[in-house]
Every structure is written in structure tokens, then in C-alpha cells.
């Protein structure tokens, strides 16, 4: 559904179907946000020319709502001129502001658009010059004066808030649908409402001046109104065409007017506009006042997105995971949460800051979910990845081929593979690791999930009895090439132990050792099941065949990467 963005000096509104979403920052810095329904359905005509009229009217409604809706406007400043005047007149401050603004606009408009251009035109051409030539001169003068007036407004502090919120709206419009690609330089957009107003004003003023209509007062007003109406519709179509064109020079040209009414937003303004859109997407009804101890969830999500996008680490799953973990809810339940306490806000944003610096979620919270179970992790163990669940699935499939399977998990780390297997099937499970601290983590996870796993501290098979045999040997060994480790992402190279990553010069050191020694510890027709690194399948398959493994099969992961290989040992 089409969305219309309309900025105000302290926030913005989004019109979408019957929903009008508004988010603002009051003078105390508090955010107010919510969605209401319009009394009459907004009809998205999308009809050539008429859609410009719709856009114009919706913008006027949005601006008027900002001034008149006591639920969303800023609190009155008791020391301000308008507040004191409203008390004397016994009229609401916002109505005094509207009336004063209209009177000032009329006086300035009369001087700038009528008296001054007429006087200046006589300096260029005399009054007996061709009427249309004089009209052209007056039109050009009026356009220049309009530009100068808006240029001056740009430097007034009370207008800069409006222009910055407009810039933030433009960034959202220029972003992709998931808000994951926001160009910080994209705060100009041809069809933003303020630019549209300036463009319409310039076009209508110039055409009215050029037309030189002079019949009588009433007909003059009628004709000028019709020209304005036509300009409203034509301006929209021109700006819309520029917004969808691939021609860079046209989009750059419109900055001449957009520059007057759009400024680069700050972080708070970006968050408020993002909040407005998120709240609109969630279709929440009724204005949500920010209580003293509550923060709107949409405002939290907006801040999280801004922080993660700035660090180029935005993932919607991370946002959901952080919120769900802090609130101790599942991802489905958090969709129903409308607000959080200030303590919960602090905890969520602290976790977000750590994630933005590259720290993985497993390190931030000390656990990770794997195959439906929750495992405690720390810097002594590799955090199990989602793709390793495929290794577990293949092991479970092969285990059913044995009556009472005996399974060995080499390089167990956190124990995620061994514990998951013991939890899902009746089997005798062994778990081996060279790291004593890792085994302590694994043992704690086994106790946590109430499963029996025999843990052995050993460098692969070195401390096993020679006659110790298994039906299945499974392993997710270190497989990163040594020189590649420093090129890995921060969350891997800084927070995962190098011991669990380094697979030697070519990444195959552990595969060679495991595949060479596994036959001595496999029962006849037993399976060796291994997780692979990207591009390693050919080399590992060759090692398996050399060691006497048959019926080797490869399984791809969710990204179509060859992730798991297994073979049967029949000798």
C-alpha cells in the first residue's frame, strides 16, 4: 500500500490507507508515537493528475493535525510569547500560532509576491512595455524572491527541525523495503512534500505572472485559483517523473529546490522517522503515550536498527533475538509487546551496542540456541552454528540403522552435537576434546539437559583404547586455513577460540588425522560423518576413498554450500 510521508518541526506523519501514524519528540526529548484511523477512508486514487491533488490535500491535513492534535504536539512553553498571548485571549496556544502564522504569511506574501516585484520590474522595463514581456520579468523576479525567502528560512532555528525531519523522511523513502540499505547522503528526494510545495509555488507564481490575466477582481481570483489547481497537479507529475527516472542529472537538478527544505538529519530524527514507519507497518491502533516508566517498542526497534545499520551489522533476526532474550519471551510473543520499561530499554540497547561492535549474540548473552536446545557458551568454546544442525540431522538418520548405536563426537567443544544426539535418540554417546575448559562447558550442558554423555580429554583418538569402537564417529573439526583466520569477521576471530578454528596451512590437518585413524575405531559398516568448510569437499572425499570409505555422500546447507560429507567403512 502506498505511503505518504509528511514532516513536521518535531516529527512526522505517515498516511497509509485508513491508518495515520505519527511520531514526535516533545521539548523534553520524550518520544510519542502511535497509529489512529481517519474518519473517512483515504482513497489512493493513483490517477494521473488527480493524485497530485490528493497528495496536496493529505499534506495539509497532516500539517493541520500536527498543530491541532493535543495528543502529539509539544507541551506549551509557559515562558513563550504565544503562551502568554493565548492566556490573555483565553484561546488555546496552537490556535494562536496558526492564526499568527496565517497573518504573517499574508503580509509577507503581499509584499514579496506583489508590491516588491512590481516595483523592481519597473527598474528593468517601463510600464508601456509589452504586457507579456513585463509579466515574464515580474515572474522571474517573483521566482527569485521566493527562492531567497526559502533560503533565509533555511537558516532559522525553528525551521531547521522541520527540514531535518524532512531529510529523515527522504532517507526512508530512498531506502529499500527492509530499511537495511540507507544512504546517508540520500536526504534529498524530488517528491517529498515540502519540495513539492516549493515547486508548486514557483510554478504557479510564474504561470500567473506570465498569463497577465486582468478582467475583474472576481474573475482574476477564479483564474488564478484554476492556475494554482493545475500547478498542484502538474507539479506532482513532473516530480514523480523525476523520482522514477534513471537520469542522474534530473535528480541532481531537483536538489536546487530540495536543498531549501531538506537538511541532513541527526540520529534522533532518523530514529523517530524509522519509528513512525515501523509503527505503521505493525498497524497498531490508538495513540500510545510514553508513560514515565514505559518506552514504545517501535522506538526501541528504531534505535536498534539505526545503531546496527551504522555499524553495517543489521540483521532483523538479531534485533528479534536481542529483544526476545532480554524480555525472556520467544520471537512470536515479542510481536505483541507494545512497550518496555526503562531498565529493559537500557538492557536492550546495551546488548545492541555490543552487537554493533562485532560481538556475537552468543557471547553477549552467554548461550546459543541449537537444534531446539539452549547451550551455554563462552570464549573457551566455538559457538555452534545453524549449519551444524545439518550434521546432527544426518547423524540421527544414520543412527536408526543400528540397534543400540554407540556414537563418538570428536572436537566436541560446547558439547552441542553430543548432547543433542543423546537428547534425541537412545544411544551411548562419547564426547572427546583436547581442551579441558571446553569439556567443563560441555559437561555442564549435559547436566543442564539431563543427558548422559561420557566425556574424554584427548587429542582426537590418542587416549582411546585400541579396541574402542563406535558405530558412528561425527565431528565438526577446525577447518579454517591458518592464514585466513585474521581475515575472518570480528565476531569469529575475536570471540571464538583459535584452537577450534585453525585447520592448518590448507585447512585439512584435522581431516587427515581423523580419516586416517577413524577406521581403527569404527565397527564394520560404521559411518564417519564430517562437517566441511567451503570448497573442501573434493579434498576430503579423496581422503575418505584413500582410507577405504565407500558410499560417500555430500549434503548441502541452507546456502547451497556442500557442508556435510559421510562415508561407510565396510572392512
Bridge partner list, 267: none
Most confident of 314-328, 413-427, 545-559: 413-427
Measured CA to CA, the distance from residue 74 to residue 158 in angstroms comes to 13
**Mean pLDDT across the stretch 263-287?**
66
473 pLDDT higher than 70: yes
Q: What percent of the chain has pLDDT over 70?
A: 81
How far is residue 144's CA from residue 178's CA, in Å, rounded to a whole number?
40
Q: Tell me what percent of the chain is helix, strand and coil, each rounded to the nearest 5.
A: 50, 15, 30
Distances (CA, A) of 358 to 40, 320, 489: 48, 17, 8
* Residue whose grid cell is 581403527: 520
Long-range contacts of 94-101 (CB under 8 A, 24+ apart): 94/67, 94/68, 94/70, 95/68, 97/67, 98/67, 98/68
Q: Which residues of 494-521 are buried (b: 16+ CB within 10 A; e: fewer)?
A: ebbbebbbbbbeebbbbbbbbbebbeeb
Cβ atoms within 10 A of the Cβ of 85, count? 15
Residues 6+ apart with CB under 8 A from 150: 198, 260, 261
Alpha-helical regions (H) of 125-216: 131-153, 157-174, 193-211
Fold type of domain 291-357: Helicase, Ruva Protein; domain 3 (1.10.8)
Q: Tell me the pLDDT tens digit for each residue of 297-356.
A: 877 887 888 788 878 887 877 888 899 899 988 777 787 787 888 888 889 999 999 998
Cα distance between residue 203 and residue 227, in whole Å:
9
Instruction: Tell me the percentage of the chain whose pLDDT exceeds 90.
Output: 32
Relative to beta strand 406-410, strand 470-475 is parallel
Helix (H) or strand (E) holding 349, with range, is helix 342-356
Give the Cα separation of 59 and 451 in Å (integer): 63
pLDDT attached to residue 520: 92
Contact 73, 67 (CB under 8 A): yes
Q: Which of 190, 170, 194 is nearest to 182 (CA)?
A: 170
Q: Average pLDDT of the chain? A: 81
d(C-alpha 227, C-alpha 131), whole Å: 19
CB under 8 Å to 391, separation ≥6 — which residues? 417, 474, 476, 529, 530, 531, 563, 564
Q: How far is CA 551 from CA 390, 554, 562, in A?
A: 19, 10, 16
421-451 pLDDT, tens digit each: 999 999 999 999 999 999 999 999 999 999 9
b/e burial code for range 179-214 (CB count within 10 A of at least 16 → b): beebeeebbbbbbbbbbbbbbbbbbbbbbbbeeeee
pLDDT of residue 153: 85
Q: pLDDT digit string (tens) for 18-51?
A: 677 777 776 656 666 666 666 545 555 578 888 8
Dihedral pair phi/psi, residue 450, rounded to 5° = 55, 50
Quick one: average pLDDT of 59-63?
A: 80
User: Where in the chain are all domains bearing CATH 3.40.50.150?
Assistant: 372-569
Q: Does the structure show a pLDDT above 80 at 181?
A: no
Nearest to 57 by CA among 69, 45, 71: 45
Between 270 and 457, the more confident residue is 457
Place of cell 559411518: 527
The residue whose grid cell reads 559421510 is 566
Mean pLDDT of 494-521: 82
Contact 430, 408 (CB under 8 A): yes
Q: Which of 31-45, 367-381, 530-544 has the lowest mean pLDDT?
A: 31-45
* Beta-bridge mates of residue 482: none
170-174, 180-184, 440-444: segment of lowest average pLDDT: 180-184
Give the residue carrying C-alpha cell 483515504.
Answer: 42
Return all residues near 429 (Cβ < 8 A) that are at least 6 apart: 407, 408, 409, 418, 421, 422, 451, 452, 453, 454
Q: Quick one: pLDDT at residue 361?
A: 87
For the segment 135-150, the average pLDDT, to the nearest whole number, is: 88
Q: Where in the chain is the domain with CATH 1.10.8?
A: 291-357
Section 166-195 average pLDDT: 74
The set of cell numbers assigned to 436 is: 579441558
Give the C-alpha separation, 407 to 528, whole Å. Answer: 10
**pLDDT above 50 (res 287):** no
Q: What is the pLDDT of residues 382-412, one digit of tens each?
A: 888 888 999 999 999 999 999 899 999 999 9
Fold (topology level) of 372-569: Rossmann fold (3.40.50)
3-state secondary structure of 245: coil
Which has the minimum average pLDDT: 488-492, 506-510, 529-533?
488-492
Task: Please report which confidence band the pLDDT of residue 418 belongs to, taking 50, 70 and 90 as the band edges.
Answer: very high
Amino acid at each position: 500500500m502506498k505511503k505518504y510521508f509528511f514532516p513536521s518541526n518535531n516529527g512526522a506523519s505517515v498516511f497509509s490507507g485508513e491508518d495515520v501514524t505519527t511520531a514526535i519528540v516533545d521539548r523534553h526529548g520524550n518520544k510519542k508515537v502511535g497509529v489512529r484511523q481517519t474518519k473517512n477512508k483515504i482513497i489512493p486514487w493513483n490517477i494521473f493528475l488527480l493524485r497530485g491533488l490528493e497528495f496536496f490535500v493529505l499534506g495539509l491535513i497532516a500539517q493541520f493535525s500536527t498543530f491541532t492534535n493535543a495528543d502529539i504536539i509539544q507541551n506549551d512553553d509557559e515562558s513563550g510569547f504565544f503562551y502568554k498571548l493565548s492566556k490573555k485571549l483565553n484561546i488555546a496556544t496552537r490556535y494562536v500560532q496558526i492564526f499568527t502564522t496565517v497573518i504573517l504569511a499574508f503580509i509577507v506574501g503581499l509584499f514579496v509576491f506583489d508590491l516588491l516585484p512590481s516595483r523592481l520590474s519597473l527598474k528593468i522595463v517601463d510600464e508601456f512595455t509589452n504586457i507579456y514581456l513585463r509579466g515574464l520579468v515580474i515572474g522571474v523576479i517573483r521566482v527569485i524572491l521566493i527562492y531567497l525567502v526559502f533560503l533565509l528560512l533555511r537558516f532559522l532555528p525553528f525551521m531547521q527541525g522541520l527540514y531535518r525531519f524532512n531529510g529523515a523522511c527522504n532517507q526512508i523513502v530512498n531506502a529499500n523495503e527492509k530499511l537495511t540499505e540507507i544512504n546517508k547522503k540520500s536526504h534529498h528526494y524530488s517528491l517529498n512534500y515540502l519540495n513539492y510545495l516549493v515547486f508548486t509555488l514557483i510554478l504557479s507564481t510564474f504561470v500567473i505572472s506570465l498569463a497577465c490575466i486582468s478582467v475583474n477582481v472576481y474573475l482574476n481570483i477564479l483564474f488564478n485559483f484554476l492556475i494554482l489547481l493545475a500547478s498542484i497537479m502538474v507539479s506532482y507529475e513532473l516530480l514523480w517523473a523525476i523520482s522514477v527516472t534513471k537520469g542522474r542529472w534530473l535528480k541532481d537538478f531537483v536538489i536546487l529546490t530540495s536543498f531549501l527544505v531538506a537538511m541532513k538529519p541527526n540520529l534522533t530524527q532518523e530514529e523517530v522517522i524509522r519509528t513512525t514507519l515501523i509503527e505503521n507497518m505493525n498497524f497498531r491502533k490508538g495513540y500510545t503515550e510514553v508513560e514515565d516508566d514505559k518506552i514504545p517498542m517501535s522506538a526501541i526497534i528504531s534505535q536498534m536498527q539505526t545503531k546496527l545499520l551504522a555499524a553495517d551489522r543489521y540483521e532483523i533476526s538479531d534485533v528479534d533475538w536481542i529483544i526476545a532474550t532480554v524480555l525472556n519471551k520467544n520471537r512470536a510473543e515479542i510481536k505483541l509487546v507494545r512497550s518496555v520499561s526503562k531498565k529493559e530499554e537500557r538492557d536492550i540497547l546495551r546488548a545492541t551496542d555490543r552487537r554493533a561492535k562485532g560481538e556475537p549474540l552468543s557471547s553477549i548473552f552467554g548461550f546459543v540456541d541449537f537444534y531446539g536446545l539452549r547451550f551455554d557458551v563462552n570464549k573457551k568454546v566455538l559457538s555452534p552454528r545453524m549449519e551444524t544442525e545439518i550434521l546432527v540431522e544426518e547423524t540421527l538418520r544414520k543412527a536408526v540403522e543400528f540397534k543400540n548405536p554407540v556414537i563418538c563426537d570428536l572436537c566436541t567443544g560446547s558439547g552441542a552435537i553430543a548432547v543433542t544426539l543423546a537428547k534425541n535418540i537412545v544411544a551411548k554417546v562419547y564426547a572427546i576434546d583436547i581442551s579441558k575448559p571446553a569439556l567443563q562447558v560441555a559437561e555442564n550442558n549435559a547436566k543442564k539437559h539431563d543427558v548422559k554423555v561420557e566425556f574424554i580429554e584427548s587429542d582426537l583418538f590418542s587416549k582411546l583404547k585400541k579396541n574402542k569402537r563406535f558405530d558412528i564417529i561425527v565431528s565438526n573439526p577446525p577447518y579454517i586455513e591458518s592464514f585466513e583466520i585474521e581475515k575472518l569477521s570480528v565476531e569469529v576471530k575475536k570471540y571464538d577460540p583459535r584452537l577450534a578454528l585453525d585447520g592448518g596451512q590448507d585447512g585439512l590437518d584435522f581431516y587427515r588425522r581423523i580419516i586416517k585413524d577413524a577406521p581403527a575405531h569404527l565397527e564394520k559398516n560404521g559411518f564417519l560423518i564430517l562437517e566441511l568448510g567451503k570448497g573442501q569437499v573434493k579434498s576430503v572425499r579423496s581422503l575418505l576413498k584413500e582410507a577405504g570409505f565407500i558410499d560417500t555422500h555430500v549434503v548441502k546447507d541452507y546456502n547451497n554450500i556442500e557442508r556435510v560429507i559421510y562415508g561407510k567403512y565396510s572392512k
